[in-house]
Amino acid sequence: MATRPGRPRPTATRVNGAGPPVPVPGAARWRGVNGPPLPRIRSTVRDGVLSVSLAGEFDHYSCAPLRVLLDGAPPLGARLLVLDAAEVEFCDSALLDVLERWSRGGRRWELAAASRPVRLLLELWNRVRAPLPPVSAPLPPVSGPPRPARRSGRRATRPPGRRVPSAADRGWRPGP
């Protein structure tokens, strides 16, 4: 595809002006419809280990293919996820949600390599998240006598014996 000198070469084009963008041969990378790079996910399953390599930007919408991949891996016998995120340029809590979802099934994951955005996100996650008690641990006993049930409605929040002035007290009356 020929372009004028000094103009950037397009990375994707539409076929007959319709449908999804199609990558232009020789383009450095395929950009999404609105410009950000589309994520690249490569995976292999061998001996119960799912190896996943990520590249690009991962937010709520672009994590959907990764969610589908990880949801389909346990029936194939995958119990361990090895994640290579060295080429991830941006990620947010959606990537953490995908990893938590994988862990909820009793599966483990390991990080083989991480880019700076992934490392920062995981460091923040480790600082913020509270350790969860084991599921089999009993709840601590409640101390003291049981509280009386609260009454519903606005009056339950006001001190007793105090009246709140209304618009009718100031002389306002509804129209005829």
4-54 pLDDT, tens per residue?
A: 555 555 444 444 455 455 544 444 444 555 666 678 999 999 999 999 999
Whole-model pTM above 0.85?
no
Which CATH number does 30-128 carry? 3.30.750.24
What sign for the dihedral angle of Cα 116, 117, 120, 121?
A: negative
Look at residue 168 in the predicted model and tell me its pLDDT: 59
Look at residue 173 in the predicted model and tell me its pLDDT: 61
Closest C-alpha among 137, 82, 133, 132 to residue 107: 82
Dihedral through CA 24, CA 13, CA 3, CA 89, nearest 10?
-70
Band of the pLDDT at 70, cuts 50, 70, 90? very high
What's the Cα-to-Cα distance from 66 to each of 94, 98, 102, rounded to whole Å?
Answer: 10, 8, 11
Band of the pLDDT at 158, cuts 50, 70, 90? low
- How is residue 37 annotated by DSSP? B
Domain spans in the chain, listed from the N-terminal domain onward: 30-128
Question: For 94-149, what is each residue's pLDDT tens digit?
Answer: 999 999 999 988 899 999 999 999 999 999 988 887 665 555 556 566 566 666 66
Residue, of 72 and 137, whose pLDDT is higher: 72
- Using a pLDDT cut of 90, give the percent of the chain over it: 44
> In whole angstroms, what is the distance from residue 74 CA to residue 49 CA?
10
Residue 83 in contact with residue 111, Cβ under 8 Å? yes
